[in-house]
Amino acid sequence: MTRNFFISVYSAIFVLALTTTDLQAVNVIVAYQTEAEPAKVAQAENSFAKMSGATVDWRKFDSGSGVLRALASGDVQIGNLGSSPLAVGASQKLPIEVFLIASQLGSSEALVVKKSINTPQDLIGKRIAVPFISTPHYSLLSALQHWDIEQQDVHILNMQPAAIAAAWQRGDIDGAYVWAPVVNELAKTGKVLTDSEQVGLWGAPTLDVWVVRKDFAQSHPDVVTAFVRSTLAAQKAYLTAPDAWLENKINISTLARLSGASEDQVPGLVKGSRYLPLAEQIVQLGKPVEKNIQDTAKFLQKEGKISQVEHDYSAFVTNRFVQQAQVMQK
């Protein structure tokens, strides 16, 4: 009885916080990247701003490391990044928390190499580009480990996607592990040696997540919940009828515009990741994501990319906003 009483009181307080409107409009800056995913439709339709009443400024970033720096400085309040930069940020004890899983990454991120490279062993001595402290970086290092190739035997170059595309055109690199739309451009004249779906099956899965600064989440829980609702609504539209969704020309053109991929590439990119419905989000935003952060952090520490690993990452993961979105759905 006592336990139920406290749960009821907590729920009432939380709902009150969510339904209380600030006297002044909330300004929120959201850092997004170029993944071609159904939630980009919500971004284009401005449904987050409509649901929250906030003034929303969407800012494009080229990599998770850039998003991480912007979150750390307070330049943005909500940001999209991969599980590798997330592990770095959490290990550095940045004031952030994961509140939503954007996707489980698959073929949308891949290692593309020159056609003359036929086997993993052919990578030895070659120049492979990747944005450092990104999910492709983690996947590349994991793949090399799986293939029993020493990291120092491959010339791994730190490049952002735009620089990778230019270097590939000049012939300065032999391959790159990167995401759309650059991965698709490279694949036109190269070939995919492996992708993040396969690397995940080897024991190193990667996630694309949404994180929020803790101070903003505490001050504006209603805004964060509105973000969850708008994002999951867009994903649900795809999950309910994926074929029909992909046949909708407006959806395709929207994703092409916001991701930089061509319209003919969008369907394959969307299908290259897995999107989690609300109920599964609640489960995953707990021990599974905490374990993913710790496993990634341990690997990055072993590779000399971070200096320490926390024993417990639960402070950097929350499902309370997805749970509240579920309550508001009923």
pLDDT digits (tens, 9 = 90+) for 172-186: 999 999 998 899 999
For residues 39-65, average pLDDT: 96
- Same domain as 134, residue 282: no
- Same domain as 53, residue 154: no
Counting the structural domains of the chain, the total is 2
The pLDDT tens digits of the residues spanning 209-259 come to 999 999 999 999 999 999 999 999 999 999 999 999 999 999 999 999 999
Give the Cβ contact number of residue 13 at 10 Å.
Answer: 10
> Which residues, at least 6 apart from 284, have a Cβ–Cβ distance to it below 8 Å?
101, 276
252/14 Cα distance (integer angstroms): 38
Pairing state of beta strands 191-195 and 109-113? Answer: antiparallel
- Same domain as 218, residue 120: no
Tokens of 234: 């867009």
Please tell me the predicted confidence (pLDDT) of residue 268.
92
- Same domain as 99, residue 215: yes
Nearest to 92 by CA among 301, 288, 290: 301
Please tell me the predicted confidence (pLDDT) of residue 133.
87
Tokens of 166: 């230019």
- 44 contacts 113 by C-beta, under 8 angstroms: no
Phi, psi of 8 (to 5 degrees): -65, -45
- Same domain as 119, residue 88: no
- Same domain as 289, residue 167: no
- Same domain as 152, residue 129: yes
- Same domain as 68, residue 217: yes
Vertex 219: Cα angle to 215 and 222 (nearest 5): 120
128/136 Cα distance (integer angstroms): 12
Reply yes or no on whether the pLDDT at 67 is more than 90. yes
Query: pLDDT band at residue 10, thresholds of 50, 70 and 90?
Result: very low
Query: pLDDT band at residue 309, thresholds of 50, 70 and 90?
Result: very high
Is 242 buried (19+), middle (13-18) or exposed (0-12) by CB count in 10 A? middle
Reply yes or no on whether the pLDDT at 208 is more than 80. yes
184/186 Cα distance (integer angstroms): 5
Vertex 33: Cα angle to 111 and 187 (nearest 5): 25
CATH for 231: 3.40.190.10
Nearest to 208 by CA among 274, 307, 256, 141: 274
Tokens of 319: 């499902």
Residue 58 domain boundaries = 2-105+206-329
- 198 contacts 105 by C-beta, under 8 angstroms: no
The pLDDT tens digits of the residues spanning 118-150 come to 999 999 999 999 999 899 999 999 999 999 999
Of 175, 201, 227, the residue at which a domain comes to its end is 201
274/91 Cα distance (integer angstroms): 26
For residues 4-30, average pLDDT: 54
Tokens of 2: 């006592």
Helices and strands, number each (H, E), in the chain: 17, 11
Nearest to 31 by CA among 199, 227, 188: 227
Pairing state of beta strands 127-130 and 155-158? Answer: parallel
Of 151, 167, 201, the residue at which a domain comes to its end is 201
Tokens of 188: 């036109």
CA distances from residue 263 to 35, 169, 267 in whole angstroms, order as listed? 13, 22, 8
Reply yes or no on whether the pLDDT at 13 is more than 90. no
- Same domain as 128, residue 223: no
Cα 279 to the chain's mean position, in Å? 19
Of 149, 175, 201, the residue at which a domain comes to its end is 201
- Same domain as 144, residue 12: no
Please tell me the predicted confidence (pLDDT) of residue 328.
94
Q: For residue 317, what are the β-bridge partners?
A: 98
The reply to whether the predicted model has a pTM over 0.95 is: no
Give me the sheet containing 96-105, strands edge to edge.
55-60, 27-32, 78-82, 207-213, 96-105, 273-274
Nearest to 80 by CA among 106, 98, 104, 105: 98
- Same domain as 225, residue 135: no
Mean pLDDT in the chain?
92
- Same domain as 18, residue 63: yes
73/94 Cα distance (integer angstroms): 10
The pLDDT tens digits of the residues spanning 315-324 come to 999 999 999 9
Tokens of 186: 């490279």
Cα 226 to the chain's mean position, in Å? 19
